C-alpha cells in the first residue's frame, strides 16, 4: 500500500455554515491531524474544536477546494530544494487567502482573521 499526497486548499464545514479553511502540502495527513487534535482537545482553533465536540461528527464535511500540483509547480518554476519548498508554501498561503475571501468572516472558525485583510 502506498500513501497518496495531495497539496492544496481544504475546508472543514459544519452544517450551520461555520467553516475552517486551511492549506497543506499533504491534505489527507493534515485532515487526520485536525481530527486527532480536535478529539484530544488540543486543536489550535478553540472555536472549531468546541463546535465540533458539541455537535455530531456527521454534521461536518471535509472538502478539497483546490488541488495544487507540486510537480507542475516545480516544472513551471525550475526551483529546487528549499527555494522550491518556500516558494510552494507561499503559493499555498496566497491561495488559502484567496479562498478565505470568498466566505464571510462571521462564520470563520480559523484561529485568526489574518486572511481576511
Residue 1, domain member (yes or no): no
Residue 18, domain member (yes or no): yes
Residue 64, domain member (yes or no): yes
**CATH, residue 27:** 3.40.1440.10
Residue 93, domain member (yes or no): yes
12-28: per-residue pLDDT in tens? Answer: 999 999 999 999 999 99
Which band of pLDDT confidence, cut at 50, 70 and 90, is reported for residue 2? Answer: low
Which band of pLDDT confidence, cut at 50, 70 and 90, is reported for residue 77? Answer: very high
Which band of pLDDT confidence, cut at 50, 70 and 90, is reported for residue 1? Answer: low
How many domains are there within the chain? 1
Residue 43, domain member (yes or no): yes
Distances (CA, A) of 91 to 25, 71, 80, 95: 11, 14, 15, 6
Residue 3, domain member (yes or no): no
Residue 49, domain member (yes or no): yes
Containing structural domain, residue 21: 8-108
The C-alpha cell of 11 is what? 475546508
Residue 77, domain member (yes or no): yes
Q: Average pLDDT of the chain? A: 92
Q: Residue 103's closest CA among 21, 30, 24?
A: 21
Mean pLDDT of 91-98: 94
b/e sequence 65-97, b meaning 16+ C-beta within 10 Å: beebebeebeeeeeeeeeeeeeebeebbeebbb
Amino acid at each position: 500500500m502506498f500513501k497518496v499526497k495531495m497539496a492544496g486548499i481544504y475546508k472543514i464545514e459544519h452544517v450551520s455554515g461555520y467553516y475552517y479553511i486551511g492549506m497543506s502540502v499533504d491534505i489527507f495527513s493534515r485532515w487526520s491531524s485536525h481530527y486527532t487534535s480536535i478529539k484530544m482537545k488540543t486543536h489550535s482553533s478553540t472555536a472549531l474544536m468546541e463546535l465540533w465536540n458539541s455537535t455530531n461528527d456527521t454534521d461536518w464535511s471535509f472538502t478539497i477546494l483546490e488541488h495544487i500540483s507540486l510537480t507542475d509547480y516545480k516544472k513551471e518554476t525550475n526551483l529546487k530544494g528549499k527555494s522550491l519548498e518556500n516558494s510552494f508554501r507561499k503559493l499555498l498561503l496566497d491561495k488559502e487567502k484567496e479562498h478565505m475571501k470568498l466566505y464571510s468572516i462571521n462564520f470563520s472558525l480559523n484561529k485568526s482573521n489574518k486572511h481576511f485583510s
